Amino acid sequence: MNPLFQNKTILLFDGYCNLCQSSVQFILKHEKKSEIYFTSLQSNSGIEILNYFKIDPHKINSLVLIEKNKVYIKSTAALRLTKYLKGAYPIAFAFIIIPAIIRNTVYDFIAKNRYKWYGKMDHCPMPDEEFGKRFL
């Protein structure tokens, strides 16, 4: 694996999805510390990370969170992300006690409808200069 990726907290997201883009912007504004790195699932670095962890880039369309070289997907990734946020957001991590099969059913329903509800971009936008160093 590229040493630039090792031992980092990395969020891979759908770079074309408006909901995903908004979520990334939300995380950037509400992080406790600037410790999460971002890359789209469709980017070269995203594909390299997925391949390293033996995740088929053509079969994944959800959030992928890498923490300490461990992979989390879907609702588990989303809930683990709350621990990095300021304020009361980390309380949402308590929902991890709900079985993943139930959490992921809700997650999959939202993911399946995200383009219809929130729209889709024609291309993955470039990050703002302020946060550019955090995008791989």
Q: What is the pLDDT of residues 84-98, one digit of tens each?
A: 999 999 999 999 999
Task: Write down the pLDDT at residue 1.
Answer: 57
- DSSP code of residue 4: T
- SS3 of the chain: helix, strand, coil, percent, to 5: 50, 15, 35
| Structural domains counted in the chain | 1
Which residues span the domain enclosing 83? 9-134
Integer Cα distance of 46 and 122 in angstroms: 18
- Of 39, 70, 36, 38, nearest to 52 by C-alpha is 70
Identify whether 54 is part of a domain.
Answer: yes
* 13-51 confidence digits (pLDDT tens): 988 788 888 899 899 999 999 899 999 998 899 999 999
Task: Write down the pLDDT at residue 13.
Answer: 93
Integer Cα distance of 31 and 87 in angstroms: 9
Identify whether 68 is part of a domain.
Answer: yes
Going by pLDDT thresholds of 50, 70 and 90, the confidence category of residue 130 is: low
Integer Cα distance of 95 and 52 in angstroms: 29
Task: Write down the pLDDT at residue 4.
Answer: 63
Identify whether 2 is part of a domain.
Answer: no
Identify whether 34 is part of a domain.
Answer: yes
Name the one residue in this structure whose structure tokens are 């790195």.
Answer: 37
Identify whether 3 is part of a domain.
Answer: no
User: What distance, in Å, lies between the first and last C-alpha atoms of the chain?
Assistant: 13
Name 72's bridge partners. Answer: 65
- Is the pLDDT at 125 greater than 60? The verdict is no
